Amino acid sequence: MTIAFVGLGIMGKPMAKNLLKAGYQLKVYDVVAQAVQEVVAAGAKAATSSADAAKDADIIVTMLPNSPHVKTVVMGENGVLEAAKSGSMLIDMSSISPIISQEVGAACAAKGVRMLDAPVSGGEPKAIDGTLAIMVGGVEADFEEAKDLLLKMGASAVYCGNLGAGNVTKLSNQIIVALNIAAVSEALTLATKAGVDPEKVYQAIRGGLAGSTVLDAKAPMMLAGNFKPGFRIELHIKDLLNVMDTAHEVGSPAPLTAQVLEMMEWLKAGGKQTNDHSGLVEYYENLANVKVRS
């Protein structure tokens, strides 16, 4: 099986490397030459364009920043659909608007190319470990065909429904993560302002009902003032904007998402958009005039 992999950023690069470790043959492309060279050094072949990568590939994996990038890479000049063979499968693992997933899927179908939308959750650490959570939309038989490959990049791959359902699931995930981070930030800021050690508060509550994967991943970063990005604020803003667009399209209120989105926009306006989303605590620190970090 020949696989094309387009998009070798903070997530795509380790995902491609995990496929190489699993024994798959990859032809890779990215606009950043250094990223391509790094994956080629791990055993891949370099492509000169998205179309060149897709030529003769059985499966084309894309991992790109947002909806416009996916449309350009798949449907644009020198894009995937210029060269993809009929019967091949595009697996778009980008986190994008489900409406755009369906638009791209229609263009693929017109060329005889099957498509799955398969966004991921877990950030860079789980991309490196190959333990991502993968949410998939499309034809279920296509999912079953691709499942073994997906599980070389993730610890789970769950079929969610028709094309676009993967990204609806990912947007739901991003609502929960964003609101959890805001809640952790608000709670630790309260503790600090009230004169209680936020580290002790964290240790006391993590084993109870308030305990969560988000709490254990992000509270230590907040307490250390370590905002090195595993998932950048600007990317979470992108996802929450897609949430709002989708929510408005289907008529589903999202008032809490809107509020956290504005908090993140405030951080972006202050030049902190490339920080990890755990940096949301800085919004609360500013309001309360305290520092949670020791």
pLDDT per position as a tens digit, 43-83: 999 999 999 999 999 999 999 999 999 999 999 999 999 99
pTM listed for this prediction: 0.90
Residue type, 173: N
- How high is the pLDDT of residue 290? 97
Q: DSSP assignment of 184-253, as one string?
A: HHHHHHHHHHTT--HHHHHHHHTTSTT--HHHHHHHHHHHHT----SSBHHHHHHHHHHHHHHHHHHT--
In the chain, domain spans = 2-162, 168-288
Superfamily of domain 168-288: N-(1-d-carboxylethyl)-l-norvaline Dehydrogenase; domain 2 (1.10.1040.10)
Residues with catalytic function: 170
DSSP-assigned beta bridge partners for residue 84: none
Domain 2-162 belongs to what architecture? 3-Layer(aba) Sandwich (3.40)
pLDDT of amino acid 293: 83
How far is residue 180's CA from residue 178's CA, in Å, rounded to a whole number? 5
| Helical axes 165-193 vs 198-205, angle rounded to 10° | 130
193: burial class by Cβ within 10 Å (0-12, 13-18, 19+)?
Answer: middle
* pLDDT for the residue 230: 82
CA dist., res. 37 & res. 48, Å (int)? 12
Joined tokens for residue 21 = 């470790």
> Which distant-in-sequence residues (6+ apart) come within 8 Å of 151 by Cβ?
157
Sequence-distant (6+) residues with CB within 8 A of 272 are: 227, 233, 279, 282
User: In this predicted structure, what is the pLDDT of residue 159?
Assistant: 98
The H or E element spanning position 45 is strand 45-46
Ranges of residues in the chain with a pLDDT under 50 are none
Alpha-carbon gap, residue 267 to 274, rounded angstroms: 10
